[in-house]
Chains A and B, each alone.
Chain A
Amino acid sequence: MSGMAAVRAGGAARPGLSLRWREAINFYLFLLPWILGFLAFTAIPIVASLILGFTKYNAISAPDFVGLRNFKFLYADQIFWKSLRVTLTYTVVFVPLQLVSSLFLAMLLNLRVPSMRTIRTIYYLPSILPTVVTGLVWIWLFNADFGLINFFLYKAFEIRGPNWLGSERWVMSAVIISGLWALGGGVIIFLAALQNVPGEFYEAAELDGANILHRFWHVTVPMISPVILYNLMIAMILSLQVFTRIYVLTQGGPNYASYFYNLYVYDNAFSYLKLGLASAQAWILFVLILLLTVLALRTSGRWVHYSGGV
């Protein structure tokens, strides 16, 4: 059988080129767009930015090697530490909230209920709207004097709501609330995973007398655990890089209370033209993300189950 395949396919190929070689060459041809793009826009820039991190560079005169000065500067820079603290606080609070509410929402949306398609669409809507647009709308929803949020707080609890975006104390909560409003991407991936869990597993569990909580912990969670890990890592990576929403909502204020890490990198690079310093900053974030990802992967062995090779 395989001999015949070799003969037939070999007839179409150039003589002297084995099937295995032909396949390998084709593989690399198909991958060529990725390889070229990766080299030009990822690999070379990564190395270049590492080198720039040790230089003083303003995009006009040639880069000046300064050794560790950029890193020493950042170490002594209060705003750098502030931006790191803001970003980490957000990540630590937001990621678990987002993960749990996305999974919960996905499970609700997975039930077979009349008009579920419409309900799903409505819940996905916030993620379709451009971030800049929703950011502009949230500015008004959070408005201290005319905003709907404070109106509801007053109507429901007779509370005079804070000046959300103008107060150092409340701005982080506002950022988190507006972030939790658009759960769409993670929910879709959870939903796709839930639909892949074979129904027989639940039936078998039910025959064994498992209640809804047991079924969740012993069937759902193990079955979708690779996807939980994926969503956890992506949520972590993305929340350490938040930019657009903050740029529109607060521009980092008030008094740096929402000055996220990448806002400072952007400012150093393109507002103050300190490209060397900004490169060093970007690399620090990169190393932080690598460490956190490795940590997540290392500890995942205990709770992630793979039914086949990914």
Chain B
Amino acid sequence: MGRRNRERLYKAIALLLLLPGILWVLMPTVWMFSAAFSRLEQIMRWPPDLWPDPWVFSNFYEGFAFLPFGRYFANSTQIAVIRVMGQVLAASMAGYAFARMQAPGKNLLFILVLSTLMLPYTVTMIPQYIIFQRLGWIDTYLPLIIPHFDGGAFFIFLFRQFFRSIPDELAEAARLDGCSYFGIYWRMMLPLSLPVIAASSILIFQNSWQELLQPLIFLHDNSKYTIPLGLARFRSSYGSSPWHLIMAVSIGAALPPVVLFFIGQRFLLSGIVVSDK
């Protein structure tokens, strides 16, 4: 068998494996949509019937009113947007420093940054709670935002890898023209790193949007809840609950990260440089 034919055979086998997998991957989403447009009786039917009969559009209206969805949505958005801005800025600054500057203690600090990946959140969670309580930050969004302004090890690493791949000559030329370190970072490096900025923004937004443990600990006032916290509380307080409404709300909750993903999708892969060049 020729090389080209063999190549084609591999591709055909790959497609044969990937296409049925799509059914498996999409199944939960399909069920979510079906339930969101169905009456409650239809969800509890055997055999399951995924085609809503009749289509019930008022689930969305009712669900959004049942949970104060608008308020939770606004809360989650506010937290995520501020966190993304601060965290991307801090991660890119630290990544730039690690990639392109020399200083005593640099290697040790980088190892320290990476080693924070191993730290379980539960270790710092309790002292953080005590600190935030003393500061009067409980029931504010500061505990969900400010601790992330350190950049986060994974994102510092992403930026560092990207900045290392930019040729030295560019920055050297700017330096000779008397550009300061901050000038090079702000006017040259940041604009070049758009793919990493996009990729990390998407990932940080997702992290923030779906975070449950921190809101659970730091937010007690019902009106301050985020979407995940609202949904989780809803689930634990109504055992046999209006699932068709929950699914309608879930679609609303899933929309922002999905939309953001589709906007920034083309950067997601190019922004993640993992080679050790």
Contact = CB atoms under 8 A, between A and B. Distances in A.
Contact of A34 (B31, B45, B150, B236): B150
Interface residues of A, number: 101
A207 to B, nearest CB: 10
B210 interface: yes
B50 to A, nearest CB: 8
Contact of A42 (B46, B94, B124): B124
A134 B28 contact: yes
Contacts of A206: 3
A124 B18 CA distance: 13
Contact of B127 (A48, A141, A189, A247): A48
B190 interface: no
B108 interface: no
Contact of B181 (A30, A49, A119): A30
B22 A34 contact: no
Interface stretch (B54-62, B63-71, B96-104): B96-104
Given A8-B178, A131-B212, A145-B46, A241 B122 contact: yes
A5 to B, nearest CB: 6
B108 to A, nearest CB: 12
B5 interface: no
Interface string B1-26: 00100000011001101100110111
A133 B254 contact: yes
Given A125-B26, A244-B212, A289-B118, A111 B93 contact: no
Nearest to A227: B274
Given A146-B45, A146-B48, A41 B274 contact: no
A243 B103 CA distance: 39
A interface majority secondary structure: helix
A196 interface: yes
A13 to B, nearest CB: 9
Given A130-B228, A189-B272, A193-B274, A45 B128 contact: yes
A12 B254 contact: no
B100 to A, nearest CB: 9
A192 B212 contact: no
B187 interface: no
A76 interface: no
B222 interface: no
A141 B210 contact: no
B263 interface: no
A133 B36 CA distance: 13
Given A46-B123, A48-B127, A132 B232 contact: yes
Given A121-B265, A141-B27, A45 B127 contact: yes
A148 B44 CA distance: 11
Contact of A113 (B15, B227, B262): B15
B253 A30 contact: no
Interface of B: 3, 10-11, 14-15, 17-18, 21-22, 24-29, 31-32, 35, 43-48, 89-90, 93-94, 96-98, 101-104, 106, 109, 112-113, 116-131, 133, 146-151, 156, 175-176, 178, 180-182, 185, 206, 209-210, 212-213, 216-217, 227-228, 231-232, 235-236, 243, 246-247, 250, 253-254, 257-258, 261-262, 265, 268-269, 272-277
Given A8-B176, A27-B97, A270-B216, 17 more contacts: A9-B175, A20-B102, A23-B181, A24-B104, A31-B109, A33-B89, A33-B151, A34-B113, A48-B130, A122-B26, A129-B257, A137-B31, A140-B35, A145-B46, A266-B213, A269-B122, A282-B126
